[in-house]
Amino acid sequence: MTEPVYVSSTERVQVWLDVSTLHIRFNNPVRHNALSVDMWEAVPPLLAQAEADDRIRLVVFSGAGEKAFVSGADISQFEDMRAAREAVTRYEAMAEAALTGIAEFSKPTLACIQGYCIGGGVNVAISCDIRIAADNAQFSIPAAKLGLGYRYSAMKNLVDLVGPGAAKDLFFTARRIDATEALSLGLISRRCGVAELPALLEEYCAALAANAPLTVRAAKAIMGEILKPSPELDLELCQRLIRGCFESADYTEGRQAFMAKRKPVFTGH
């Protein structure tokens, strides 16, 4: 069976597979990686392709260069895309598809952040499971300075991550915070120096490559159920996922490796 090859629909989104990590990099450095229409549209097909690829244990989102992860939406397109009601509807649906695709992707996702992480960049980052950042990272949600309405899903992601108090502070004031404050608020998981960021990212890639993918995917799905309102909670799904782990060849491998005092080799089956 031929292994899938990953090709982006636009040169402004780069994609490559490094062993078991799929990298998706926003590549619009002239505009600090501001998200243009073609960049939003490139994400869902790549994730759909990666969903069925057993090689992939982690998807990493990053921005080209050291100045920005994503500096927000491409404002130059606002008049064309967001001025008319129909255009706003299309733009919002396009962004929602990309962000929902990241949030609902069954495998772990990680945002590797340097420099500006503004507006839409924050939305991409908080749609991921894990966020790591260099000391030069700066975060802001400037919607209130632009008169924009914010989608329910994006607001819920922010509140779920940092709590309503911090979410209101960041959103109402539109103030910019550094990596230290972002870490204290829980907006990011870890921070490090700019030079140390590649090593920190490699630490995560190696950990996800070594751990049991069925266990990790089950945990991600169950955590997603925990965050749902109680009437929507699917306990039967959670139980099926747990049974699937215990009935897998990976569980047998994990037990045998533990008894033999060797590192397990998990296959996701």
pLDDT in tens, 188-228: 999 999 999 999 999 999 999 999 999 999 999 999 988 88
Averaged over 227-242, what is the pLDDT?
80
For the stretch 27-46, pLDDT in tens is 999 999 999 889 999 999 99
- pTM, two decimals, is 0.88
User: What's the average model confidence in pLDDT over 108-127?
Assistant: 97
Contacts of 158 (CB under 8 A, 6+ apart): 122, 126, 141, 167, 170, 171
Rounded Cα–Cα distance for residues 5 and 2 (Å): 9
Contacts of 111 (CB under 8 A, 6+ apart): 60, 61, 62, 69, 124, 125, 128, 130, 131, 132
Residue 76 has pLDDT above 70, yes or no: no
Alpha-carbon gap, residue 26 to 150, rounded angstroms: 22
Angle at 227 between CA 73 and CA 134, to 5 degrees: 45
CB 87 within 8 A of CB 80: yes
Q: Name residue, tokens 């790591």.
A: 132
Mean pLDDT of 83-105: 82
List Cβ neighbours of 117 (8 Å cut-off, separation of 6 or more): 68, 69, 70, 125, 133, 137, 138, 139, 140
Gap between the Cα atoms of 196 and 189, Å rounded: 15
